Structure 1
Amino acid sequence: MAEESKNNATMVVFDGDLDKAIASFIIATGAAAMGKNVTMFFTFWGLNVLRKEENIEVKDKNFLEGMFAKLMPRGPGKLKLSKMNYGGVGSHLMKKMMKEHNVSTLPELMELAQDLDVKLVACTMTMDVMGLRKEELIDGLEYAGVASYLSEAEDANVNLFI
């Protein structure tokens, strides 16, 4: 009997840089538009992409968790370029050039991904380490650990680490 053809794609979004987040969502939405079942697993700095931009007061954080919350960028609007950021000027210019070329913004790509049923998964272990709480992240996420990601990856013919 022939093995069932795998039509899934997964990616680990480890990095929280603007350009890498944009690339991740372009790949994810492209794969979903091609009919693939896509799972994006956000861990470590990648979780900053999923943070709500408004400051959410969480009372049960210890000192270090509170510091992480203050120091890490909140959401896609606060992310910086991985190269040539120049104190935020690079990010501003990149967004301007994207607009001029009718390229969707990161928030638009994130919304499109959710509309295309891309599964966005926040790593619970990293959330614990960094002191992030569910209420600090955008709506529509799933929460799981590495075993869940690996299970999805076993059933995929495309697995990326960004």
Structure 2
Amino acid sequence: MENKSTMVVFNGDLDKAIASFIIATGSAAMGNQVTMFFTFWGLNILRKNESVPVKKTFLEGMFGLMMPRGPENLGISKMNMGGLGSKMMKYIMRKKNIATLQELMETAKELDVKIIACAMSMDVLGITEAELIDGIEYAGVATYLAEADQSRLNLFI
């Protein structure tokens, strides 16, 4: 076993995304190599906030309209209340000087956390590379499993 941590980020809720990046940056700060594998709804965390003009089928376009676009537009898992819950959480975090999800994502990149978008989930949901943030990798489950196989810690969020 090497000094590696891996996690599957399956969920796209704001609170779970924040927890994922806090764990990832904490592990990286401890000297571990960290791999985050974003799949299905977790891919929404990696979407750019602005719309990107790409050709999609009708169903792919519908998925794109129904899913939140990027870290600034995620709801929370409990008490979202039409978006009010996430606004309250962001306000409290700001008042207590807690890093935002966007800041945690930038810190993760600075700490060389490997961020992988699941290619199969992208295909299923009609998400293209152009719609995701820069500086990430694209791979399938075999790549993630190879990383997890060498890891001391593996999480599913």
- Give the TM-score, by structure 2 length: 0.99
Report the Cα offset of residue 57 of structure 1. 1.2
**Could you tell me which amino acid in structure 2 is paired with residue 68 of structure 1?**
F
Residue of structure 2 equivalent to 1:53:
49
Residue of structure 1 equivalent to 2:156:
161
* Aligned residue among 93, 107, 110 for 2:105: 110
2:28 is aligned with 1:20: no
**Could you tell me which amino acid in structure 1 is paired with residue 34 of structure 2?**
V
Residue of structure 2 equivalent to 1:83:
78
Q: Secondary structure at the match of 1:97?
A: helix
The list of structure 1 runs, each at least 4 consecutive aligned residues, that deviate by more than 3 angstroms after superposition, is none
Give the gaps of 5 or more residues in structure 1: none
- Give the TM-score, by structure 1 length: 0.96
2:21 is aligned with 1:31: no
Give the gaps of 5 or more residues in structure 2: none
Residue of structure 2 equivalent to 1:132:
127
Report the Cα offset of residue 69 of structure 1. 0.8
Residue of structure 2 equivalent to 1:66:
61
How many residues align? The count is 157
Give the CA RMSD over aligned residues.
Answer: 0.6
CA–CA distance in structure 2, aligned partners of residues 92 and 132 of structure 1: 26
Identity of aligned residues (%): 66
Residue of structure 1 equivalent to 2:88:
93
**Could you tell me which amino acid in structure 1 is paired with residue 106 of structure 2?**
E
CA offsets per residue over residues 54-105 of structure 1, 9 Å max, x none? 011102x110001111111000010000001111111001001101111000
CA–CA distance in structure 1, aligned partners of residues 150 and 35 of structure 2: 11
